[in-house]
Chains A and B, each alone.
Chain A
Amino acid sequence: MMADMLQVAKRELKIGFRNPWAYSFLALFSIFSLCLIFINSQNIVQGYSGTTGSMLSLILYLLPLMTLFLGSFSLTAEKEEGSWQLLSTYPLGTLSFIAGKYIGLSVVLITIVAFGYGVLGIVGQIAGTGFDFETYFLFLAFSVGLVLLFLAIAMIVGSLSRNRWQAMTNSVAIWFFLVVGWSTILIAILGSLPYLWIKPILVALTFVNPAELVRLFVVIKLGGGSVLGPEYYEWVNWVRQSSGTFLFLGVCIAWIVISMGLVYWIWERGRSRG
């Protein structure tokens, strides 16, 4: 089973790096973050400031979209090109297939992110607008976390979509909902609820949105937690300690496991229906 999974992952890697989409995202990500570094050509990138704030926003726009596209397309391609139908005839477990897909895709995506940060770090150093090490590391971890969480969503999207076009529409809709529309929608809905309900519901829903979850985690770890105000003071104090890191990792793992379970269920159902 392990061997099957690795086989699928290796295959995914090969397909992934022959996919022109991967390189266009790689270029896009590198160019945009370089632009930010040059705009902020006087200051060291450290802590929570205007520079790190806008980098955070850029990453929040770009990485989820990239992950949703690459992830969901990879799954729909299996269906469209008929390779899944072929694979189904082999004694290949659905779980091995899905886990292999997830691992392979995450290696591809993390490689893109690593390339971007590598370029960013080196050019930043040369240009004299370097990163503080802790901030650099935190941003890298933040991006990887974002990719892994959105990859889980992307696999659900890919499983539910029949073809590439459907996957793209669904991806954009989900991206818009979670990244761009989230606060607008929540403000509209929660604004009409009684005052005392707003905070608990908001906190609960934040755990449901990986983009917000990861963003808040980074803001707090960058030392910007006080900007969230007295309402979240206890949360912030807690997240700043290592207990917060463990909570975050726990939530991420729960997210990925639950989504994979869902994906497994969808494919298993499809397989039995043949």
Chain B
Amino acid sequence: MKKWTLGLTLVLAIAVLTACGGKKYEAVPINEEVDVCAICKMQVKDDAYATQLTTKDGKTYKFDDIGCMNEWKKTNGTENIGMDYVRDYNDKEWVEYKKATYVYDASLRTPMAYGIVSFKDKKAAEDFIAEQGVGKLMKADELVSHTWEQNKESMNMGDMHGDGDMNSVMSGDSMEMTEK
């Protein structure tokens, strides 16, 4: 019986040590083999659209699009979040959500069609807007009031085949989704 308790204490001790060592938050790498978006269940690609957050008890959630992370925050609240990260569009470096600069345009293609890309500095974001010719520059605090609408419908309205009605239904639905 002594051996048991000894073993258990040892295991516990190791666990305590490893847990306490990692109090500082750090972005974890994306593993495409296993990581799926916590909201939409799609594979999280190791690309510039990936985001992640770590809760205060150390659970990490990964998302394939910043819009999905926003959905998570709406459902679960932000009080328990230890740290959240987005990625720089150009070099995929992890950037703290609060410190990043964002560019939105409905025509930007992102995995879940939220149309938002992130940058580590304002200069890079402005360059991107200049290059694309479209885009609205935003800081993290401005994202709070963002509509988070998904571009579920094509941009070229001229090519729609009598889909006017459907279009209005669709945007209505996506509003409903974002407000849930």
Q: B33 — which chain A residues lie within 8 A by C-beta?
A: 233
How distant is A234 from chain B, measured CB to nearest CB, in Å?
9
Which chain B residues have a beta carbon within 8 Å of chain A's beta carbons? 7, 11-12, 14-16, 18-19, 22, 31, 33-36, 57-59
Q: How large, as a class, is the contact surface on chain A?
A: 10 to 19
Q: A195 — which chain B residues lie within 8 A by C-beta?
A: 57-59
Also in contact, A230 and B35, with CB within 8 A (given A195-B57, A195-B59, A196-B58): yes
Q: Indicate if the CB atoms of A197 and B35 lie closer than 8 Å.
A: no
Q: CB < 8 Å: which of A196, A208, A233 contacts B57? A: A196
Q: What residue of chain B has the Cβ atom nearest to residue A208's Cβ?
A: B7
Q: CB < 8 Å: which of A194, A204, A230, A233 contacts B11? A: A204
Sample of 4 more A-B contacts, CB < 8 Å, known A196-B15, A233-B34: A195-B57, A195-B59, A197-B12, A230-B34
Classify the secondary structure of A's interface with B. Answer: helix
Q: Indicate if the CB atoms of B16 and A197 lie closer than 8 Å.
A: yes
Q: How many inter-chain residue pairs (CB < 8 Å) link A and B?
A: 32
How distant is A220 from chain B, measured CB to nearest CB, in Å?
15
Which chain A residues have a beta carbon within 8 Å of chain B's beta carbons? 194-197, 200-201, 204-205, 208, 230, 233
Q: How far is the CA of A197 from the CA of B18 in the complex (A)?
A: 9
Q: CB < 8 Å: which of B18, B31, B35 contacts A200? A: B18
How distant is B2 from chain A, measured CB to nearest CB, in Å?
12
9 chain-A/chain-B pairs, Cβ below 8 angstroms: A195-B59, A196-B19, A197-B12, A200-B15, A201-B12, A204-B11, A205-B11, A233-B31, A233-B33
Q: How far is the CA of A197 from the CA of B16 in the complex (A)?
A: 7
Q: Indicate if the CB atoms of A194 and B57 lie closer than 8 Å.
A: yes
Q: A197 — which chain B residues lie within 8 A by C-beta?
A: 12, 15-16, 19
Q: A208 — which chain B residues lie within 8 A by C-beta?
A: 7
Q: Indicate if the CB atoms of B58 and A194 lie closer than 8 Å.
A: yes
